[in-house]
Amino acid sequence: MKKIITYILFASFLILVGCSSEKDVSTKSGNNEKNQVIASFYPVAEFARNIGKDKVEVITMVPAGAEPHDWEPSAKDVGQIQNAKLFFYNGGGIEPWAKNIQLGKTTTAVEVGAGMFDIDGKTDPHIWVSPKKAIKMVERIRDNLQEKDSANKTYYTQNAAAYIAELKALDEKLEKIATAGKRKDFITLHAAFGHLAKDYSLVEKSIVGLHPDAEPTPADLAKLVTFIKENNIKYIFFEELVDPKVATTLAKTANVETLVLDPLEGLTSEGQVAGLTYLKIMEQNIKNLEKALN
């Protein structure tokens, strides 16, 4: 009889240990349960946090200071995605791993930028730098959070509305500086601002293409130097997460200055400590862009 009781107790212990080792799709904070959401990289995570706030725990796959074009998930990262309720990713090729990742049984993957990548027949994933498209991304994240957590539908609606109001304020500022600017063209390190340019009737000229690690040819640089001089351009934009050497060399050759135009693909560690946000960085982008357009 003692052996039977001992066996039952031991079996019960194993069951309890097995259950506790499984990672739940939500985490508890006090008396509240937070829905666990995975976001591929910074802008997607930033939008999800501002909509979900206290009801959502957002885990960002691409770490601070990393360039999302080249990042790949580890086995641990894949496990986190499989245990989450929602996996939000941008799409358009900036996270090529995201479309083919094996999901958990209860995980829903959402391509937040679906249908928004086209620029004159070419795919450009950098939709979040345009407030007009950022608003659509926020709306899609809101809708999916509401579908997974209908009990907090009003909460997500209110948070999204407040954040969209701030995005609309950015949109109005960009419309104003683009309309009032003395010029329409600006030069960037890599082609991350095509959607912003198209949505606000501006023209982006980039040193390299969609991938920031591409190498420009001497002929490409020579053409840009000629363009800069012929059009009296005063500034070349570079960015935080990419080596600015090419941009600074071109600026020196063309005898112009450099400014930061942040594509918001991620925050640096310093930016995190300083409490930078999408809204704050975009405000600075608009100031720098206004300076270059005038």
Same domain? For 214 and 151 the reply is no
* Domain assignment present for 5: no
Angle between helices 153-180 and 42-52 (to 10 degrees): 130
Mean pLDDT in order along the chain per 10 residues (294 residues): 40 38 37 83 98 97 87 94 96 93 94 97 96 98 97 98 98 98 92 96 86 75 89 88 78 90 90 93 97 95
Rounded to whole angstroms, the Cα distance separating 54 from 29 reads: 9
Looking at the fold, whether 51 and 86 belong to one and the same domain comes out as yes
Q: What is the pLDDT of residue 109?
A: 97
Residues 143 and 223 in one domain: no
User: What's the CA gap between 277 and 267, in Å, rounded?
Assistant: 8
Q: Is residue 209 part of a domain?
A: yes
Q: How far apart are the first and last CA of the chain?
A: 90
Instruction: Indicate the number of domains in the chain.
Output: 2
| DSSP 8-state assignment for residue 191 | S
b (16+ CB within 10 A) / e for 231-269: eebbbbbbbbbbebebbeebbeebebebbebbbbbbbee
Structural domain contains residue 234? yes
Note whether residue 1 is domain-resident: no
In a domain, 70, yes or no: yes
Strand 56-60, strand 32-39: pairing: parallel
One domain, residues 157 and 272: no
Asked if residue 111 and residue 42 are part of one domain, the reply reads yes
Q: What is the dihedral of CA 225, 229, 232, 234, to 10 degrees?
A: 40
Asked whether residue 29 falls in the same domain as residue 150, the answer is yes
Cα 203 to Cα 64: distance, rounded to the nearest angstrom? 30
Helix, strand and coil in the chain, % to nearest 5: 50, 15, 35
Domain with 83, as residue range(s), is 22-169
**pLDDT score, position 240:** 72
Task: Say if CB 89 and CB 40 are below 8 A apart.
Answer: yes
- Do both 30 and 164 map to the same domain? yes
Question: 288 CB contacts (<8 Å, ≥6 apart)?
Answer: 235, 237, 259, 260, 261
Are 117 and 154 members of one domain? Answer: yes
30, part of any domain: yes
229: tokens are 């001089």
Beta strands 32-39 and 26-29: pairing type?
antiparallel
d(CA 46, CA 24): 23
Residues 125 and 236 in one domain: no
Concatenated DSSP letters for 105-129?
TT-EEEETTTT--EETTEE---GGG
Identify whether 189 is part of a domain. yes
Looking at the fold, whether 31 and 101 belong to one and the same domain comes out as: yes
Same domain, 143 and 229: no
| pLDDT of amino acid 284 | 97
**Of residues 274, 277, 228, the one with CA closest to residue 250:** 228
Which of 169, 186, 216 is where one domain is finished?
169
Q: What pTM was computed for the model?
A: 0.85
For residue 211, the model assigns a pLDDT of 65
One domain for residues 135 and 237 = no
* Per-residue DSSP letter, 54: G
Q: Kindly report the CA angle at 50 between 26 and 280, in degrees rounded to 5?
A: 140
Kindly report the CATH number assigned to the domain that includes residue 215: 3.40.50.1980
* Residue ending a domain, choose from 114, 134, 169: 169
Last residue of a domain, one of 134, 169, 204: 169
DSSP letter at 94 equals S
- Domain-located, residue 160: yes
**d(C-alpha 250, C-alpha 223), whole Å:** 11
